[in-house]
Amino acid sequence: MENRTEVIRFILLGLTDNPHLQLPLFITFLLLYTITLVGNLGMFLLILLDSRLHTPMYIFLSNLSLVDFCYSSTITPKVIAGFLTRDKIMSYNACASQMFFFSTFANVENYLLVSMAYDRYVAVCKPLHYATNMTTSMCMCLIIGCYICGLLNASICTVDALSLSFCESNVVHHFFCDVLAVMIVSCSERRVNELVLIYAAILNIFCALIFILISYMFIFTNILKMHSASGYCKALSTCASHFTAVSIFYGTVTFMYVQPSSSHSMDIDKISSVFYTMVIPMLNPLVYSLRNKEVKSAFTKIVLKSK
């Protein structure tokens, strides 16, 4: 504990030191964050204001939009400000807070995608029992469970990283306080801590992915058995947006964890991190709004009312 207090701040190397790229990156990330802000808060408010969208699927979607906004906001504003101020210093407590909140919201998104997969499974495979299985109370229990599990997992990962001693170097080869990037600069033995992090990732990410894949296996099997063309198309459209969001999220995360150690580098991690901290939160509301007639209808209704 005494050694840990020797480092009172971390220096984040950021994405690049090239001065000619600072302004273009500032403009690019500001645009990404603006779209993320408008898209996710807009989706959240749209679902909140339109009573027709107060169904389990859209309740999950509203929480997904809120979480996307929160975990992007944990990282992006600091990165954007850094391009202008060139300030790469972050205090120990600020780094710990960023690490905890980002891990919390990322894990909550993971569990929300699992809950949404279960919702789609019940809707397609057990449509006659959907109203009784996916009640409002059931939906709220799943959402509360997502937040609790996210908080617990984030607490384990953050405590695991910050239990190490930081006494030799405080230079983090990343643009935010990523758990693994911070652990690497520790001056103490971290083998056990890294194993805890790996097992936590496997338990939470890959087990969730397996559950989603099994759900979609049943969904697609059920869809193939349908004889009605309209039913076939409706079932596909019901799952298309969620399946797209799942593919983007887990595709990026899996890419980071399955890289061979020989080719693994923090530079690749930073590029992947840009995608899942800034691009994915921006894409999710676009994926769900562009492919959803009910969302478009609700948006049109609110626009017409405001005139």
CATH at 23? 1.20.1070.10
Close Cβ partners of 66 (under 8 Å, ≥ 6 residues apart): 40, 44
Long-range interactions of 24-32: CB distance < 8 A, separation 24+: 25/83, 26/80, 26/83, 26/84, 29/76, 29/79, 29/80, 29/83, 29/278, 30/80, 32/76, 32/278, 32/279, 32/282
CB 45 within 8 A of CB 297: no
Q: What is the pLDDT of residue 22?
A: 87
Q: How far apart are CA 204 and CA 207, in angstroms?
A: 6
Residue 306 burial class via C-beta count within 10 angstroms: exposed 0-12, middle 13-18, buried 19 and up: exposed
Q: How far apart are CA 199 and CA 218, in angstroms?
A: 28
Residue 99 burial class via C-beta count within 10 angstroms: exposed 0-12, middle 13-18, buried 19 and up: buried
Q: What is the pLDDT of residue 262?
A: 44
Structure-model confidence comparison of residues 293 and 215, the more confident one: 215
Q: How far apart are CA 11 and CA 13, in angstroms?
A: 6
Q: DSSP assignment of 13-52, as one string?
A: --S---HHHHHHHHHHHHHHHHHHHHHHHHHHHHHHH-GG
Question: What mean pLDDT value characterizes the chain?
Answer: 84
Q: What is the pLDDT of residue 170?
A: 84
The average pLDDT across 225-249 equals 76
CB 291 within 8 A of CB 240: yes
User: β-strands 9-12, 171-172: how paired?
Assistant: parallel
Q: How far apart are CA 196 and CA 235, in angstroms?
A: 40
CB 299 within 8 A of CB 50: no
Q: Residue 3 — pLDDT band, cuts 50, 70, 90?
A: very low
Q: Residue 67 — pLDDT band, cuts 50, 70, 90?
A: very high
Q: Is the pLDDT of residue 1 over 60?
A: no
Q: Is the pLDDT of residue 77 over 80?
A: yes
Q: Where are the alpha helices (DSSP H) in 203-228?
A: 207-224
Structure tokens at 133: 């299985």
Nearest alpha carbon to residue 235 among 109, 136, 126: 126
If one counts the domains in the chain, the total is: 1
Q: Is the pLDDT of residue 34 over 70?
A: yes
Nearest alpha carbon to residue 284 among 233, 224, 244: 244
Q: How far apart are CA 28 and CA 42, in angstroms?
A: 21
What range defines the domain where residue 213 resides?
3-306
The average pLDDT across 204-225 equals 88
> What's the chain's length in residues?
307
Q: What is residue 174's DSSP assignment?
A: S
Residue 259 burial class via C-beta count within 10 angstroms: exposed 0-12, middle 13-18, buried 19 and up: middle
Q: Is the pLDDT of residue 44 over 50?
A: yes
Structure-model confidence comparison of residues 145 and 194, the more confident one: 145
Q: Is the pLDDT of residue 98 over 90?
A: yes
Close Cβ partners of 255 (under 8 Å, ≥ 6 residues apart): 272
Unique residue bearing structure tokens 């101020």: 85
The average pLDDT across 230-254 equals 77
CB 182 within 8 A of CB 99: yes
Among 52-66, 164-178, 217-231, the least confident range: 217-231
Full-prediction pTM beyond 0.85? Answer: yes
Share of the chain above pLDDT 90, in %: 31
